[in-house]
């Protein structure tokens, strides 16, 4: 039985509704993980470092699609809650075409200026050729990548999270199979990894676009539209927290690479790459739950159903708390086998990765609160508070502490800085949730 945004959400129903979004986000995060496994084991640790240099750049570009997806889906879901589905379709169509246009422009700029971009991101002379090769191919696929990130939110607003899951699984499967074909069989090296990832983007971004364009489609669909400057600006402002979060995380990733290159060299960047691959998956679970629950919050906020808004908020906080504890236990237990899967061929690099991973993993105790709080305020159309949480957590605290903590604690300070930053971010998020509770009646 299909779950509607207007339903009453028990804990089981909320989990069933958000689970496809969680899986969808996790599968999308596996793109880089699979690339890393193949590249590290079949090409080498220098190529793995090159992938980690380029990935934050790609995430910055994809963040604009995520911004229009999360900010736009909140407006679309709220408009549906107000009872005007035709207008919701027109808003949806505008947001999607803006993603396409912006993606094409960013793709062109990145491909042309890839070498100076990767040098600015911390690529050494030893890594720059691989970075340029991987980056140009990967960033050429910015349009389907941005479409895929935006559709992750729009499928939920369309009350079809399972369809989004199917496309995400198909995209992930395409990436994994082609990674093996291009790297292991055809020996295309790092270029093969990039081509496989772009092929996955096309399955996850372009095929859903065609489906939304089909005539006679029921529910949320692409229709003739016009320019709605106020709604577009509102979507950008409302999704600015997600944009800020993704860009900040990417910039901080670049800062980490620069610090690691200075303190530990290429091996330090490779060790951080392994942690980031696991981090992509774990954080994706929090993001998926937040994306999945956000349209529910927006719908009941638009319908002024305060009782259900309170119900969804309480259950969501319970899910985040339990998941946070489980992730810390799981990551501490799996840090050695996961490190071995990526860099087991190098004992020195393996020891460095496991040691740092045990400290880094403590951050999962705190990060879920901030991720959910930011998404929750986006769903309430308060982009300012949402952006504030994202800016403090992912940029100001992480970016500042990565330089401060090594001065106090040496090399271990790099990993501990993440834990301290996430802890402080959780305190700020909980304080804002408590402060604004009466205004939004949750």
Residues 6+ apart with CB under 8 A from 122: 53, 254, 257, 258, 261, 269
- Residue 225's φ and ψ, nearest 5 degrees, are -140, 180
Q: What's the total number of domains in the chain?
A: 1
Q: What is the structure's pLDDT at 272?
A: 82
pLDDT of residue 8: 84
Q: Which residue has the higher pLDDT, 114 or 126?
A: 114
Q: What is the pLDDT of residue 434?
A: 93
Does residue 310 register a pLDDT over 80?
A: yes
Whether 6 maps to a domain, the answer reads no
At 365 the pLDDT is 93
Which pLDDT band holds residue 144 (cuts at 50, 70, 90)?
Answer: very high
Give the pLDDT score at 31: 67
Instruction: Specify the pLDDT at position 216.
Output: 67
The per-residue pLDDT for 32 is 67
Out of 127-136, 149-158, 244-253, 425-434, least confident range: 244-253
For the segment 10-35, the average pLDDT, to the nearest whole number, is 81
Instruction: Show the tokens assigned to 310.
Output: 């309170």
Over 60: is that where the pLDDT of 246 sits?
Answer: yes
Residue 1 falls within a domain, yes or no?
no
The reported pLDDT for the residue numbered 279 is 83
pLDDT value at 241 more than 60 = yes
Model pLDDT for residues 30-71, shown as the tens digit of each residue: 766 777 778 878 887 788 788 878 888 888 888 888 888 888
3-class DSSP assignment, residue 125: coil
Does the pLDDT of residue 368 top 90, yes or no?
A: yes
> Could you list the residue range(s) of the whole structural domain that residue 206 is in?
11-440
Distance of CA 305 to the CA centre of its chain: 30
**What is the pLDDT averaged over residues 189-207?**
91
Confidence of residue 1 (pLDDT cuts 50, 70, 90): low
- Mean pLDDT value across the chain: 86
CB-CB contact of 223 with 90 (8 Å) = yes
Q: pLDDT band at residue 114, thresholds of 50, 70 and 90? A: very high
**Is residue 4 in some structural domain?**
no
Contact 312, 300 (CB under 8 A): yes
Residue-wise pLDDT for 323-365, tens only, equals 999 999 998 888 888 888 888 778 888 888 888 889 999 999 9
168 within some domain: yes
Distances (CA, A) of 205 to 76, 149, 362: 19, 8, 34
367 has a pLDDT exceeding 80: yes
- Render pLDDT for 86-113 as a digit per residue (tens, 0 to 9): 898 899 999 999 999 999 999 999 999 9
Handedness of CA 170, 5, 437, 232 (dihedral sign): positive
More confident residue, 434 or 221: 434
Would 5 be classed as within a structural domain?
no
């Amino acid at each position: 039985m299909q779950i509607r945004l207007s339903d009453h959400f028990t804990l089981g129903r909320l989990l069933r509704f958000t689970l496809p979004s969680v899986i969808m986000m996790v599968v999308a995060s596996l793109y880089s993980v699979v690339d890393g496994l193949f590249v590290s084991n079949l090409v080498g640790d220098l190529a793995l470092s090159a992938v980690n240099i380029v990935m934050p750049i790609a995430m910055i570009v994809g963040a604009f699609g995520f911004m229009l997806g999360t900010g736009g889906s909140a407006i679309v879901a709220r408009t549906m809650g107000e009872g005007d589905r035709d207008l919701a379709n027109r808003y949806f169509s505008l947001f999607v075409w803006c993603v396409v246009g912006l993606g094409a422009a960013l793709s062109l700029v990145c491909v042309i200026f890839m070498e100076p971009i990767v040098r600015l991101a911390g690529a050494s002379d030893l890594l720059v050729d691989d970075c340029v090769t991987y980056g140009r191919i990967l960033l050429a696929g910015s349009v389907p990548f941005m479409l895929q990130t935006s559709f992750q939110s729009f499928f939920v607003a369309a009350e079809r999270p399972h369809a989004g899951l199917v496309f995400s699984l198909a995209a992930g499967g395409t990436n994994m199979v082609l990674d093996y074909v291009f790297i292991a069989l055809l020996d295309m090296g790092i270029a093969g990894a990039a081509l496989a990832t772009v092929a996955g983007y096309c399955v996850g971004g372009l095929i859903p676009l065609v489906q939304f364009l089909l005539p006679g489609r029921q529910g949320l669909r692409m229709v003739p539209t016009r320019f709605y400057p106020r709604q577009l600006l509102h979507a950008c402002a409302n999704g600015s927290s997600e944009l800020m979060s993704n860009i900040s995380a990417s910039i901080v990733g670049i800062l980490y690479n620069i610090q690691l290159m200075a303190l530990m060299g290429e091996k330090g960047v490779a060790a951080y790459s392994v942690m980031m691959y696991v981090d992509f998956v774990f954080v994706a679970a929090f993001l998926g739950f937040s994306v999945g629950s956000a349209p529910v919050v927006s719908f009941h906020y638009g319908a002024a159903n305060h009782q259900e808004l309170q119900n969804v908020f309480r259950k969501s906080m319970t899910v985040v708390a339990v998941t946070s504890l489980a992730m810390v236990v799981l990551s501490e237990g799996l840090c050695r086998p996961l490190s071995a899967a990526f860099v087991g061929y190098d004992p020195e690099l393996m020891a460095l990765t496991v040691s740092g991973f045990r400290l880094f993993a403590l951050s999962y105790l705190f990060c879920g609160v901030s991720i959910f709080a930011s998404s929750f305020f986006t769903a309430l159309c308060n982009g300012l508070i949402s952006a504030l949480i994202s800016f403090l957590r992912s940029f100001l605290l992480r970016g500042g502490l990565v330089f401060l903590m090594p001065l106090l604690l040496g090399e271990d300070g790099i990993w501990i800085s993440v834990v301290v930053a996430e802890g402080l971010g959780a305190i700020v998020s909980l304080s804002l949730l408590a402060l604004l509770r009466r205004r939004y009646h949750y």
